[in-house]
Amino acid sequence: MSYEIQKAGRGGRVALHVNGTGNMTIELNGSANSAINVATESVTTASITGAHWSSNGAWTVKRGGSTGTNVLSLDGTGSFPLSKNGIVVSNTATSNIYVSLDGSGTRGTLILELSKISTFTEPE
């Protein structure tokens, strides 16, 4: 499964674009290729503010790993512009984000919009 994280800089919004099959974990904080934080930033929470998807299987988004809390189940094609309606999915927002695509021979695309809250360490 391939993915791309588009960071809007410190704090603010993040777009997570996932494409393919399988599963993956996105860390709130960690290495540049697997986390939504930027240098000198510590992400304390990341809430899901939108979801856009397409697949011939079922996307599952959990917080806290593969055995964590199920926060979204998405099949077929659709869009949830949650923030436009004043809604966010903030269940266990302090936990990493786990994404999986289930179904035999499935492929798909998922875009999650995230709003993050962070603390910062200024370089000396």
Task: Note whether residue 93 is domain-resident.
Answer: yes
Q: Return d(Cα 88, Cα 117) in angstroms, integer.
A: 13
pLDDT class of 17 with cuts at 50, 70, 90: confident
Task: Note whether residue 124 is domain-resident.
Answer: no
Domain membership of residue 76 as a residue range: 2-118
Task: Note whether residue 53 is domain-resident.
Answer: yes
Give ∠ CA 34-40-44 in degrees, rounded to 5. Answer: 65
pTM of the prediction?
0.85
Q: Where are the beta strands (DSSP E) in 1-124?
A: 2-7, 12-20, 22-26, 41-63, 69-80, 97-102, 108-120
One-letter amino acid of 76: G
Contact assessment for residue 26 and residue 97, using Cβ atoms and an 8 Å cutoff: yes
pLDDT class of 33 with cuts at 50, 70, 90: low
Share of the chain above pLDDT 90, in %: 36
DSSP 65: S
Task: Note whether residue 87 is domain-resident.
Answer: yes
Q: What is the CATH number of the domain that holds 40?
A: 2.60.120
